[in-house]
Amino acid sequence: TVLAQSMLPKLAVKSTYRVGFAQTESNNPWRLAQTKSMQDEAKRLGYQLVYTDAAGSTAKQVADVRSMIAQKVDAIFLSPREDKPLAPVVAEARKAGIPVILLDRNIDPALSKAGADYVTFIGSDFIKEGQRVGDWLVKNAKGKTNIIELEGTTGSSPANDRKTGFDGVIAKNSSFKILASQSGDFSRDKGRQAAETLLQAHPEANVIYAHNDEMAIGAISALEAAGKKPGVDVLVLSIDGGKEAVKLVVDGKINYVVECNPRFGPEAFKTLKGYAAGTKYPAKVINTDRDYTAQSAKTGLAGAY
Ligand code: GYE
């Protein structure tokens, strides 16, 4: 609401800004594409980007934001690794007069409010991403109904919401069953390990739904090591849409990928400038995501990050 927005720190209209970007980790192509997009746009605009990489540590990310506050940056872009522990530093930034824009991951709405604690959230609709994967499966399963789910980082908004979206679709289709659901921390190697263990415990599994490409690629290694053909014996479904995964769709080892667009730079800085100029933003600014199937992957490959 307008009343709530009046609690947010103002941002002066200036020809250049010094802006923080608190990244959560850099261990996958999605993160690298997001960082590059932010750096490229800052450079194009002639802004200074104070970049930090929490390297997968929530505690470090909290410290990174505190150090940006101490350095009195003009504004902070934050991709919160987990949806609860970053809420206090968002409030600290507001009290220090520094507006925060959440990028790609959200904070628990019970702890931080758009328009009051931070300006807005820019990112994908993760519930919808999970639903799209579920809808594709229900239509294209051809009898494959025994699912293993590889979840993203525990306590992160995309892991929570991609699970909610997918599991909700599956719950409405009684022929499908989620045999097991375990975190692979959005990482290739942890995804492979989780898939290995779960495939041993559930040899009847014939679908793997991974919350991101990295874990799907890890699961493909686990399937091949177990003598199963990924994409044929076991359907593999994922979210992100990086080049390597889209190539695997072309090769038939992944059956379906919903894109999660990592190109944040232009929208992020446009929002920053708009905010300085007095534009009011909704709680969420949602990116558009395409998808990749066996039919569309070949032509889509050129546009994948
Ligand atoms: O899917 C994953 C990354 O927060 C939407 O985090 C992002 C997710 C993305 O590490 O690959």
Tell me if residue 59 falls in helix, strand or coil: helix
Cβ partners under 8 Å of residue 276, min gap 6 = 11, 12, 13, 14
pLDDT at 121 over 70: yes
Cα distance between residue 280 and residue 278, in whole Å: 6
pLDDT tens, position by position, 220-232: 999 999 999 999 9
pLDDT band of 1, cuts 50, 70, 90: very low
DSSP string, 100-131: EEEESS---TTT--BTTTBS-EEE--HHHHHH
Residue whose CB lies within 8 A of the most ligand 1 atoms, among 24, 77, 104, for a mutation test: 104
Strands of the sheet containing 207-210, edge to edge, are 177-183, 146-151, 207-210, 235-240, 256-259, 291-293
Ligand 1 centroid to Cα of residue 209, in Å, is 15
Tell me if residue 274 falls in helix, strand or coil: helix
The radius of gyration of the chain from alpha carbons, rounded to an integer in Å, stands at: 20
Tell me if residue 167 falls in helix, strand or coil: helix
pLDDT tens, position by position, 49-108: 999 999 999 999 999 999 999 999 999 999 999 999 999 999 999 999 999 999 999 999
pLDDT band of 7, cuts 50, 70, 90: confident
Ligand 1 centroid to Cα of residue 94, in Å, is 26
